[in-house]
Amino acid sequence: MPGAVPLTPGERAAQREADARAAVFRGVHTEGVSVAFVAGIDEAEAVRRLGRDPHDGTAGPPDASAVPHDPAAAHRRVGVTGVAGGCVLLQPGSYLLGTDAALAALSAGATAYGLYFNPGGGTFGTLSRDGRTEPTEEIGLPPYGDEPEGHWRYRFWSRSRPQERYGAGALGYAAAAAGLRVTGPRPVSGPPHRWVEIPAGSPLLA
């Protein structure tokens, strides 16, 4: 475009890095899914923070798209997978991992970034550090100049991306925001390493 300022070599390198992070999640199903990337705690500690004993994890659905038919059961069921430096939590059919209550519990002494891919429209992300959540941001809006610095690297507003890249950029961005380097899609595509069920009456469900 006339008057456009070319990117610097450093900015182009940052975009290539963002592309590499997004490519990990190419083709992953995201509609209706919530995901939390947590750096600083392991899988067992994440299970404890969900209110369960780490030995209570059970085998679950064979993939991320298989969810309980009961919405209440889907809301309580969480997949947990340990990764280098932290863990990834997954809910195929609920928004819970994008809520302040869940992220505050997961991020105590750690950093967490939760994403919710609303099937009604919009992708919403929230960063939480040491139990304190920051305002939720909507990912994928046209750039107006006031979006977080990292958005331009992932070019969320681009309409020229292949279909299988939709959602992948948001996942790469969320993992980076939490401070994790995820090297494979399984923590989000499933099956997770273990499934746990949040106890009924837990404050995480409020």
Whether 46 shows a pLDDT value over 90: the answer reads yes
The pLDDT of 166-179, averaged and rounded, is 92
pLDDT at 99 over 90: yes
Residue-level pLDDT at 59: 47
Q: Which residues pair with 37 in a beta bridge?
A: 88, 113
pLDDT at 143 over 80: no
What does the alpha-carbon distance between residue 128 and residue 197 come to, in Å, rounded to a whole number? 22
Percent of the chain scoring above 90 in pLDDT: 56
Over residues 14-38, the mean pLDDT reads: 91
Predicted confidence (pLDDT) at residue 65 exceeds the cutoff of 60? no
pLDDT in the model for residue 13 = 86
pLDDT, position 115: 97
pLDDT of 61 above 70: no
Distance CA(107)–CA(29), nearest Å, equals: 25
Round to whole Å and give the CA distance between 83 and 95.
22
Domain boundaries, the chain: 30-186
pLDDT digits (tens, 9 = 90+) for 69-83: 677 888 999 999 999
Residues 100-142 pLDDT 10s? 999 999 999 999 999 999 999 899 999 999 999 988 888 877 7
**Whole-angstrom distance, CA of residue 33 vs CA of residue 91:** 6
Higher pLDDT, residue 159 or 101:
101
